[in-house]
Amino acid sequence: MIKIVVDLMGADKPANELVSGAIDAINENSDLMVTLCAKKDIIMPVLETLSYNKDQVEIIDCSEEITNDDIPTKAFRKKPDSSLVKGLNICKNDPFAGGFVSCGSTGAVLVSSMFILGRIGEVRPCLSCLLLGQNGEFLISDCGANVDCKPEQIVEFAKMGVAYMKAKGIENPSVRLLSNGAEEKKGPDAIKEAHQLLKNSGLNFLGNVEGKDVLQSTCDVICSDGFAGNTVIKTIEGTAKALFMDMIKASKEAKDDKEAKVLMNTVKNLMAKYDYNTLGGANLLGVKKPVIKGHGAGEAKTFYNMIKEAYVLAKNDMIGIMENLLS
Amino acid sequence: MIKIVVDLMGADKPANELVSGAIDAINENSDLMVTLCAKKDIIMPVLETLSYNKDQVEIIDCSEEITNDDIPTKAFRKKPDSSLVKGLNICKNDPFAGGFVSCGSTGAVLVSSMFILGRIGEVRPCLSCLLLGQNGEFLISDCGANVDCKPEQIVEFAKMGVAYMKAKGIENPSVRLLSNGAEEKKGPDAIKEAHQLLKNSGLNFLGNVEGKDVLQSTCDVICSDGFAGNTVIKTIEGTAKALFMDMIKASKEAKDDKEAKVLMNTVKNLMAKYDYNTLGGANLLGVKKPVIKGHGAGEAKTFYNMIKEAYVLAKNDMIGIMENLLS
């Protein structure tokens, strides 16, 4: 039995609109248990309408909520009865707890996870995003937790990303380094040094990747400093949005209804493909339990996906693999 | 009369396939003259088939070609009879020469321009790309000439970008700084310092912009360190390509011919909108004359656009505006 702790508060949507995602996840897997952290009054009316095995659900009543208005570095001390803080404490202390998921404030989730769960050794935790490219899924690591990075840290981001992909079932994950050219002499000094370290790291390192090849890439992990990684994922999001808007405009200007419909259907399919809600969420790697942070605009389906992912990472001992790679 | 020096060699396509772009440009403007640098034998047969005013064309026979295989820092000394080196020397010494355009090796164009034309003061020249966003054209500066940047340099990239946009007719160009968040405290140390310097620069500074808002942005100039700027333009290119491939796939899987045609037409229109060949090219800002470097895969139309742009920059005294802003 693996228990996943679910922070149902702090997201854009209220907990009662999100909780069904957790129930869908346990209904698919008898080996999975969820610890739901939220105001009990809010989720109970919905839970009573759903059918599920009561032994797989634990409810933790939380009177406080951490929002984007709270200062991340202070929130976890100021709001001890919040779903985020109570949930992380259970995740830390319960021997069955395998991971934690939340759609709350990114800063608060990051800081609270580091303080409450603790880091693996001296590592600087990173945020990693799983994206869908033309050749399948790949991870970008770091996506914004660390904006001024030393070369050694970038290698650690790669190792943590590799541990994650191994836990997802990839035997010998391949790694590329984000730079401004394919040649090893390209890039800022820190990137050029990271390239040399990666060559001698024992990882399955395939060299640099440029922004234009990220979505066409054939590797499993792209490591980068958090500033460039953040720039990549946000530019992908913005470019896709710009093209979707162009297509919607083309659909509105179509000659007839049939043409308009064809274009709108294609836009919808592509939006689903590049939708962060259908993918899992960002992983905070480097803390002592798996932590997944979903988009603030996450829906019930987002929680369903995050819980399933956290379950897989716990079951396949991502943390053990990571400790080995980092030691 | 303004003379634009045209390096017709070093591109993927041979000079005879490119030269008509220069002729189209002079045929539209009696005040424009072009100095065509190429092997004379190669371009003459094509020129003889075109109709134009001979007084507007000067031909410089060049026996050597600088390619991507030449080392940029050595090429301009090793190949003095190349179209790049001869052209830049004319651009420097001819009082009527208003600018230089090339689709040759980026590194060689950059290094040779800096050495032959010289820099404005002590400035570090940058590469600036004009992109088409949802709200019109905007410039990203630097796009990759400088990958390790000091905050003061990023402010200079902004000033050079502003000079360019002023020469293009924008009265008081607005500026944003690329970062990983809208708040002024976001970003690596160099970016946070650049933010403070920009606030006190006298420029029309509107704050930070994130990757996701670049194409939706309403400003005229986005300044950034060259590594992040390069990452943005290449990620836009790669994301657009990935979506075009998805749309082409959808078109192939369409139910009938009509649906397939609607999708393919939309892809073609969008590809034209985001095609670097229809836009001018990258500007090397900070040297003593306007220098435009087009895509290696540039076509005759690319040269036509670059020459028209260089003409405008010369006519409106971009260099004078830039010297004022930088002093």
Q: What is the rounded CA–CA span in Å between residue A234 and residue A282?
A: 13
pLDDT greater than 80 at residue A306: yes
Q: Do A215 and B266 touch (CB under 8 A)?
A: no
SS3 state of residue B82: strand
Mean pLDDT of A165-175: 97
What contacts B302, CB < 8 A, 6 or more positions away? B18, B21, B103, B277, B281, B294, B295
Whether B1-123+286-327 and B127-280 share one fold: the answer is: yes
Order of strands across the sheet that contains B2-7: B57-61, B32-38, B2-7, B97-102, B291-293, B282-285, B126-133, B136-141, B221-223, B174-178, B204-209
Q: What is the per-residue pLDDT for B117?
A: 98
Give the distance from CA B193 to its chain's centroid: 27
Kindly state the percentage of chain A with pLDDT values over 90: 82
Verify whether the Cβ–Cβ distance B270 to A247 is below 8 Å. yes
Contact B215 A180 (CB under 8 A): no
Query: How far A191 CA lies from chain B's nearest CA (Å)?
Result: 10
Best mean pLDDT range from A29-43, A238-252, B177-191: A29-43
The contacts of residue A171 (CB under 8 Å, 6+ apart) are none
Contacts of A215 in chain B (CB under 8 A): 238-239, 241-242
Residue A136 pLDDT greater than 60, yes or no: yes
CATH code at B1-123+286-327: 3.40.718.10
pLDDT at residue number A276: 58
DSSP strands (E only) in B216-297: 221-223, 282-285, 291-293
- The Cα B275–Cα B240 span in angstroms is 10
For A246-303, write each residue's pLDDT tens digit: 999 988 998 888 889 988 988 898 888 776 555 557 999 999 999 999 988 889 999 9
Mean pLDDT throughout A28-35? 98
Q: Which two tokens stand for residue A247?
A: 């297509």
pLDDT at A272: 81
Rounded Cα gap, residues A190 and A181, in angstroms: 14
Chain B nearest-CA distance from A116, in A, is 25
Fold of A127-278: Isopropylmalate Dehydrogenase (3.40.718)
Q: Given a cut of 60, is residue A197 above it in pLDDT?
A: yes
Nearest CA in chain B to A256: B262
Chain B residues whose CB is inside 8 A of the A227 CB are: 180, 187-188, 191, 228
**Dist CA B151 CA B195 (whole Å):** 8
The whole-angstrom distance between A4's CA and the closest CA on chain B is 31
Per-residue pLDDT, B272: 81
Q: Which residues of A touch B264 (CB under 8 A)?
A: none
Q: What is the mean pLDDT of residues A79-83?
A: 97
Residues of A in Cβ contact (< 8 Å) with B189? 148
* Domain map (residue ranges) of chain B: 1-123+286-327, 127-280
Rounded distance between C-alpha atoms, residue A112 and residue A73, angstroms: 8
Structure tokens that stand for A305 in this block: 């996906």
- State the average pLDDT for chain A: 94
What is the token pair recorded at B193?
């310092």
Residue with tokens 């001698």: A200
Per-residue pLDDT of A98-113, as tens digits, reads 999 999 998 999 999 9
Comparing A133-137, A301-305, A317-321, the range with the smallest average pLDDT is A133-137
A215–B239 CB contact, under 8 Å: yes
Per-residue pLDDT of chain B (327 residues; tens, 9 = 90+): 999 999 999 999 999 999 999 999 999 999 999 999 999 999 999 999 999 999 999 999 999 999 888 998 899 899 999 999 999 999 999 999 999 999 999 899 999 999 999 999 999 999 999 998 888 999 999 999 999 999 999 999 999 999 999 999 999 999 999 999 888 988 999 999 999 999 999 999 999 999 999 999 889 999 999 999 999 999 998 999 999 999 999 889 988 888 899 889 888 988 887 765 555 579 999 999 999 999 888 899 999 999 999 999 999 999 999 999 999
Q: What is the pLDDT of residue A271?
A: 86
Kindly report each contact of residues B247-252 with a partner whose C-beta sits within 8 Å and lies 24 or more positions away, as own/partner. B247/A266, B247/A270, B250/A266, B250/A269
Under an 8 A CB cutoff, do A270 and B189 touch? no
| Mean per-residue pLDDT, A156-162 | 98
Substitution target in B110, B195, B227, B256 with the highest count of A β-carbons within 10 Å is B227
| B256: nearest CA partner in chain A | A262
Least CB–CB distance from A238: residue in B188, B214, B233: B214
Q: Domain B127-280 is in which class?
A: alpha beta
The residue among B266, B267, B268, B274 with the most chain A CBs within 10 A of its CB, best to mutate, is B266
**Taking CB atoms and an 8 Å limit, are B269 and A250 in contact across chains?**
yes
Structure tokens at A37: 């952290």
Task: Give strand pairing partners of B249.
Answer: none
pLDDT at B66: 95
Q: Which residues of A touch B211 (CB under 8 A)?
A: 230-238
Looking only at the bridges linking them, the beta strands covering A32-38 and A282-285 are: unpaired
Beta-strand ranges (E) seen in A62-211 are 97-102, 126-133, 136-141, 174-178, 204-209
**Token duo for residue B311:** 């003409």
Task: For residue B158, give every residue at least 6 positions away whose Cβ sits within 8 Å of its Cβ, in sequence order, or none.
Answer: B141, B175, B177, B198, B201, B203, B205, B221, B223
Q: Are strands A291-293 and A97-102 parallel, antiparallel or unpaired?
A: parallel
Compare CB distances from A215 to B226, B242, B262 and report the shortest one's residue.
Answer: B242
Whole-model pTM over 0.90: yes
Are A214 and A114 in contact by the 8 Å Cβ rule? The answer is no
Distance in angstroms (rounded) separating the CA atoms of residues A134 and A131: 10
Question: A179, A231, A253: best mutation site toward chain B, by most B Cβ within 10 Å?
Answer: A231
Three-state secondary-structure class, residue B54: helix
Q: For residue B266, which residues of chain A lie inside 8 Å, CB to CB? A: 247, 250, 263
Whether B188 and A228 lie within 8 Å, measured CB to CB: no
DSSP A275-314: -TTTS--EEEESBSS-EEE--TT--HHHHHHHHHHHHHHH
Residue A214 is nearest to which of B230, B235, B254, comparing CB atoms?
B235
What is the spatial distance between Cα A300 and Cα B278, in angstroms, rounded to a whole number?
Answer: 44
CB spacing of A234 vs B212 below 8 angstroms:
yes
Find out whether B247 and A270 touch, Cβ atoms under 8 Å.
Answer: yes
Q: Give B-chain residues touching A245 at CB under 8 angstroms.
A: 134
Cβ-based neighbour number of residue B189 at 10 Å? 10
| Closest residue in chain A to residue B228, using alpha carbons only | A228
Query: Cβ contact (<8 Å) for B235 and A211?
Result: yes
Output the pLDDT for position B201.
97
